[in-house]
Amino acid sequence: MTAKIGGLEGMVVGDTTISTVGKEGVGLTYRGYDIHDLAKYSTFEEVAYLLIYGELPTLPQLNAYRDKLVKLRRLPNELKQLLEAIPGSAHPMEVLRTSVSMLGTLESESLQYNGHQIADRLIACTPTMLLYWYQFHRNNVRIEAWNCEDHTVAGYFLHLLHGKKPDDEHRRAIDVSLILYAEHEFNASTFAARVTASTESDFYSAIVSAIGALRGALHGGANEEAMRLISQFKTPDQAEASIKELLAKKSKIMGFGHRVYKISDPRSDIIKAWSEKLSKEARDGYLFAVSERIEKVMRDEKKLFPNLDFYSATTYHFCGIPTSLFTPLFVIARLSGWSAHIFEQRANNRLIRPDADYTGPAPRAFVPIEDRG
């Protein structure tokens, strides 16, 4: 009888040199660097380079990398036509899943477009895909990627969304959030990418698998669900009463708890500080106070702590980002981690194919259709 653990909890299924999650209870490192240092001193482009190419870039390497990403922002015309044909009512995660797949038909993995080129291309052009579709269907505008001079992914995203140069605080808040979301070891979407990569499938297919897994509310979709929850309440007292009722009904409160971290999520305090700072500037009357009260109730009642998704929700909201674009922003960040894992899987590949214990009917005789009653 082999060991069987629901949801593969606690099972080690491979080696990685990319990140550590929850070692000594709480920490997070990317290629040996502590997440607090990365969030304080680096930028998303440095972190993406670290994950994809293995080391932090020098200043000339970083400048060259940023220039390269800027050049890779444009979309092929066929992809723009597809984005115009996708309904405006689609969820932006559906838009990303479909348009990444479409790009895989136009610039499919080959000698011309290798894995590293595709990784950079996707980080550079997913904001364009998303906001081309968004602006076309919301505002009847066909945006032009090359009209934005901002050399950061965060600034580019905000510029395309709001149609103007972003506020510096907002740009840095999103930049930090992209750093925090960039990588997280063998989480569900990364594992999905690795499973697909392990069959020797192409790079885009592995990324599309990951986008599908990320969308769910128990994974990346939690930041959107957290915003929907927080924004229902006008006062902390109202939030407290409602959360207690939801807990009594055994409902899950989105943005709390974690499979690996048992004491706290090291990313939460970093993004919470941004949420608090931006709430003051936004003259937020209640959203931050409501969030803090939900955090207190969850600690008191369930000993559960906020994960990265909880305070990311209000941070994004204070930057003027619509809720349906929250999980897509997570995709843009995590493309760097997924890519690193696809390379790692390919470098030492063995097909990922576990076993199951069969619990269905005992062997029985086949009954021809005319005899089935």
CA distance 175 to 155: 8
Nearer to ligand COA, 103 or 222 (CB): 222
Nearest-angstrom CA–CA distance, 330 and 211: 10
Using CB under 6 A, pick the residue from 57, 104, 236, 257 that binds ligand COA.
Answer: 257
Least distance to ligand COA, CB of residue 212, Å: 16
Q: Is the Cβ of residue 72 or residue 304 nearer to ligand COA in the bound state?
A: 304
Which of 175, 265, 284, 309 is the catalytic position?
309
- Which amino acid, 164? K
> Residue 104 or 255: which CB sits closer to ligand COA?
255
Q: Is 309 in the site for ligand COA (CB under 6 A)?
A: yes
Angle at 89 between CA 83 and CA 95, to 5 degrees: 40
**Residue 102 makes contact with ligand COA by CB under 6 A:** no
Query: Site map for ligand COA, 3-42, x if CB under 6 A?
Result: ----x-----------------------------------
In the bound state, the residue with its beta carbon closest to ligand COA is 257
Q: Is 309 a catalytic residue?
A: yes
Distance CA 27, CA 350 (A): 29
**Using CB under 6 A, which of 95, 158, 253, 325 touches ligand COA?**
253
Stretch that binds ligand COA, among 121-129, 144-152, 173-181, 246-254 (CB under 6 A): 246-254
State yes or no: is 258 an active-site residue: yes
Q: Please, which residue, 8 or 273, has the CB nearer to ligand COA?
A: 8
Query: Which residue, 78 or 300, has its beta carbon nearer to ligand COA?
Result: 300
Q: What's the 3-state SS for the chain? A: CCCCCHHHCCCCCCCCCCEEECHHHCCEEECCEEHHHHHHHCCHHHHHHHHHHCCCCCHHHHHHHHHHHHHCCCCCHHHHHHHHHCCCCCCHHHHHHHHHHHHHHHCCCCCCCCHHHHHHHHHHHHHHHHHHHHHHHHHCCCCCHHHCCCCCHHHHHHHHHHCCCCCHHHHHHHHHHHHHHCCCCCCHHHHHHHHHHHCCCCHHHHHHHHHHHHCCCCCCCHHHHHHHHHCCCCCHHHHHHHHHHHHHCCCCCCCECCCCCCCCCCCHHHHHHHHHHHHHHCCCCCHHHHHHHHHHHHHHHHCCCECHHHHHHHHHHHCCCCHHHHHHHHHHHHHHHHHHHHHHHHHCCCCCCCCCCCCCCCCCCCCCHHHCC
Query: Among 31, 259, 277, 296, which residue interacts with ligand COA (rule: CB under 6 A)?
Result: 259
Q: Which one of 65, 157, 256, 305 is in contact with ligand COA (CB under 6 A)?
A: 256
Which member of 22, 92, 255, 266 binds ligand COA (CB under 6 A)? 255
Q: Which of 142, 165, 302, 320 binds ligand COA (CB under 6 A)?
A: 302
Which is nearer to ligand COA, 36 or 259 (by Cβ)?
259
CB of 168 to ligand COA, least distance (A): 29
Q: Scan residues 332-351 and list those touching ligand COA (CB under 6 A).
A: none
230 binds ligand COA (CB under 6 A): no
- Partners of 29 in the beta sheet? 20, 34
User: Is residue 307 at the binding interface for ligand COA, with CB under 6 A as the rule?
Assistant: yes
- Which one of 170, 258, 317, 341 is the catalytic residue? 258
Residue 187 Cβ vs ligand COA, minimum distance, rounded to whole Å: 8
**Catalytic (active site) residue 219:** yes
363 is a site residue for ligand COA (CB under 6 A): no
Active site residues: 219, 258, 309
Q: Which residues bind ligand COA (CB under 6 A)?
A: 7, 218-219, 222, 252-259, 302, 304, 307, 309
